[in-house]
């Protein structure tokens, strides 16, 4: 049994000691969170989703979906509707140079891209992201497009800046961090009045670069570009990527921090998100004492106004009052404090995001507070990895190896730990009180468990959540190192027929249950009998269940070795594999003719350092 104990101090009076429940039989812990809220039974309807879901986020979101039948205009780059609300609303650094320094009393520094280029090339581009911006796809064919999105000649209307933020890295406060190699060009308002920020990653030095050069290399840029888009098409909230440009210049990097630096091809990704604000965007100002606490409030007001307008517009009639679960049965009224309502929604979005990661087997690798989006987006793709052979302790980050703080099984813990730091920041700025902070953290736990249980129920095609069955499954998968993605996809082939002889039960799973002795075969046969009994109680057909399971269990994921294959080709000038992977990942749940090889188990070379595990060097 593995117990992951943490002690989290939210205020001077409240201490949380907990071990996060994660449903493995032999790797299971109990979640003891005070005040205790997860002891409440969670009922599941016939589709496996919680019928008692009382998500505050869902209460706050009361949007009327409109169908727009008017054709969307297709714009040239020069016609994009730029806006600069962040720059207008928040305090700026009075200096505009890129000299590394501490930037005080400011949310950003106006700084232009300084990257050098030599005949830059467009490596890959995303037409679905262009659609978000109303950008005409023909613009990708412009001869000057690579020059514009390398940062050498920023688009007309842009107002570049680098954001100031701080963060906890591996549990330790790191002080000022900021956009050390990312420069935001500004915000685009599209025809739906949606706000999208465009940011160039690898565009040169900023005041936040410290001792680095502000550049990025092709290998890490390919990984970020592809995974941003792959995650979106898996249905997981994420920043997006418009394009990837090869700068034509070399960048020196020490991939493993072992003194063996080498020159690599430089590159730039144009990242797109509704906001790049992180937990650390608020932390840095709260860390600097009373003088900057007003900036925390200003940043909160900005975020609510532009990205959580439903909170700004709520009123007393909505009656958003909730019991905290404390011994005194106190009540938190979210209509009386918009900052509390906001903190709760940030917590719920974070919980939902991490539940989706766990469902698809994604490990972020660097869950520092500066890598936590206030919008609940997957942000900052460094040494990420999808599970191949199932290992709850898997971490794709070589820097994380000693303690495996950010391993797959720890991600729910780390989401909560990071939220504690965020709520401490809001408390320091007197935006929320202790009970409101506690309630936000309660909602994280409840929302995570609701979403995770619903996801796992649907992945298995169960009529209702079955904790014991799922726990035993994950335990078996961990013992036998079963491929996470291929197993769930193959499981849909099992028939709900309780009359199948024991010696034939494993036949549908023979491609994923490999090299097992008699004892392990018996363990899997026992589990499968219980599984078949459970699904046989449903009134849906085998074909319907298979279709439903395949809609949530991807056939294709962005395995690290697939990324590496594309990187190896791109580094000798062949960008075809990058583009093929992009198209493949746009339809991860579909059977794609001729693409079966991309769903195969990783080859032996995929487990070498630099492929299955990476450092933060880029």
> pLDDT at position 1, please?
29
> pLDDT at position 141, please?
98
d(CA 502, CA 527): 11
User: How far from 275 is each of 206, 368, 376, CA to CA, in Å?
Assistant: 19, 18, 10
Quick check: 488 and 459 in contact, CB under 8 A?
yes
Quick check: 307 and 275 in contact, CB under 8 A?
yes
d(CA 126, CA 416): 33
Please give the DSSP secondary-structure letter assigned to residue 481. Answer: T
- Regions of the chain short of the pLDDT cut 50: 1-53, 63-67
pTM of the entire structure?
0.90
Quick check: 415 and 351 in contact, CB under 8 A?
yes
Q: Where are the alpha helices (DSSP H) in 381-517?
A: 411-428, 434-459, 467-480, 484-491
User: How far from 490 is each of 338, 500, 525, CA to CA, in Å?
Assistant: 46, 18, 15
Please give the DSSP secondary-structure letter assigned to residue 315. Answer: -
Question: Choosing from 370, 380, 388, 483, which is the catalytic residue?
Answer: 370
Please provide the DSSP assignment of 152-211 as one string: SSPPTT---EEE--EEEETTEEEEE---SSEEEEEEEE-TT--EEEEEEETB---TT-TT
Closest CA to 312 of 332, 282, 341, 347: 341
d(CA 342, CA 345): 5
| Residues in CB range of 507: below 8 A, 6 or more apart | none
Closest CA to 186 of 199, 201, 172: 199
> pLDDT at position 611, please?
78
Please provide the DSSP assignment of 428-447 as one string: HTTSS-HHHHHHHHHHHHHH
Please give the DSSP secondary-structure letter assigned to residue 117. Answer: -
- Burial classification of residue 2, based on how many CB atoms lie within 10 Å of its CB (0-12 exposed, 13-18 middle, 19 or more buried): middle
Q: Let me know if 328 is a catalytic residue.
A: no
Quick check: 55 and 447 in contact, CB under 8 A?
yes
Give SS3 for 7. strand
d(CA 242, CA 198): 9
Quick check: 42 and 465 in contact, CB under 8 A?
yes
Closest CA to 296 of 430, 455, 462, 150: 430
User: How far from 451 is each of 49, 228, 292, 409, 446, CA to CA, in Å?
Assistant: 8, 22, 37, 16, 9
Give pLDDT tens digits for 295-327. Answer: 999 999 999 999 999 998 886 556 676 766 666
Closest CA to 221 of 144, 277, 149, 160: 149
């Amino acid at each position: 049994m593995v117990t992951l104990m943490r002690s989290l101090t939210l205020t001077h009076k409240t201490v949380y000691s907990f071990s996060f429940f994660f449903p493995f039989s032999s790797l299971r812990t109990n979640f003891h969170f005070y005040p205790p809220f997860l002891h409440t039974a969670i009922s599941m309807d016939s589709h496996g989703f919680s019928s008692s879901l009382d998500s505050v986020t869902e209460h706050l979101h009361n949007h009327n979906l409109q169908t727009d039948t008017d054709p969307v205009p297709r714009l040239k780059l020069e016609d994009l509707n730029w806006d600069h609300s962040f720059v207008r609303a928040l305090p700026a650094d009075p200096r505009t140079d890129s000299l590394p320094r501490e930037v005080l009393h400011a949310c950003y520094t106006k700084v232009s891209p300084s990257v050098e280029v030599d005949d830059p090339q467009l490596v890959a581009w995303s037409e679905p992201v262009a659609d978000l911006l109303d950008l005409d796809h023909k613009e990708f064919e412009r001869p000057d497009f690579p020059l514009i999105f390398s940062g050498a000649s920023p688009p007309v209307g842009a107002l570049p800046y680098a954001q100031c933020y701080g963060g906890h890295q591996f549990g330790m406060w790191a002080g000022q961090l900021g956009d050390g190699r990312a420069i935001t060009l500004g915000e685009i308002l599209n025809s739906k009045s949606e706000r999208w920020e465009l940011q160039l990653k690898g565009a040169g030095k900023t005041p936040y670069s410290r001792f680095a050069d502000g550049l990025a290399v092709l290998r890490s840029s390919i990984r970020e570009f592809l995974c941003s888009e792959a995650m979106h098409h898996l249905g997981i909230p994420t920043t997006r990527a418009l394009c990837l440009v090869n700068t034509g210049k070399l960048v020196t990097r020490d991939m493993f921090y072992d003194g063996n630096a080498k020159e690599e091809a430089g590159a730039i990704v144009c990242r797109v998100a509704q906001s790049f604000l992180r937990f650390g965007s608020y932390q840095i100002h709260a860390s600097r004492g009373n003088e900057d606490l007003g900036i925390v409030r200003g940043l909160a007001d900005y975020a609510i106004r532009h990205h959580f307008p439903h909170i700004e517009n709520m009123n007393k009639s909505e009656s958003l009052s909730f019991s905290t679960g404390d011994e005194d049965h106190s009540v938190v009224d979210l209509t009386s404090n918009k900052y509390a309502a906001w903190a709760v929604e940030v917590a719920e979005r974070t919980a939902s995001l991490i539940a989706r990661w766990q469902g698809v087997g994604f490990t972020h690798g660097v869950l520092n507070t500066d890598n936590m989006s206030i919008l609940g987006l997957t942000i900052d793709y460094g040494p990420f990895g999808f599970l191949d052979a199932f290992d709850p302790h898997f971490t794709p980050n070589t820097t994380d190896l000693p303690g495996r703080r950010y391993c797959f099984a720890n991600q729910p813990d780390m989401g909560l730990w990071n939220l504690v730091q965020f709520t401490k920041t809001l408390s320091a700025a007197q935006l929320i009180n202790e009970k409101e902070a506690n309630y936000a953290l309660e909602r994280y736990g409840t929302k995570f468990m609701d979403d995770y249980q619903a996801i796992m129920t649907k992945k298995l095609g169960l009529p209702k959540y079955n904790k014991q069955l799922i726990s035993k499954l994950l335990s078996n998968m961990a013992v036998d190192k079963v491929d996470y993605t291929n197993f769930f996809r193959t499981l849909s082939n099992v028939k709900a027929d309780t009359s199948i002889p024991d010696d034939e039960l494993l036949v549908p799973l023979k491609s994923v249950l490999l090299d097992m002795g008699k004892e392990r075969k018996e363990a899997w046969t026992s589990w499968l009998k219980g599984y078949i009994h459970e699904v046989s109680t449903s009134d849906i057909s085998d074909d319907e269940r298979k279709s439903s399971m395949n809609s949530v269990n991807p056939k294709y994921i962005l395995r690290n070795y697939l990324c590496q294959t594309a990187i190896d080709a791109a580094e000798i000038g062949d960008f075809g594999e990058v583009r093929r992977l992009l198209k493949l990942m746009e339809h991860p749940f579909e059977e794609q003719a001729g693409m079966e090889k991309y769903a195969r188990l990783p080859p032996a070379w995929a487990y070498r350092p630099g492929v299955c595990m990476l450092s933060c060097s880029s």
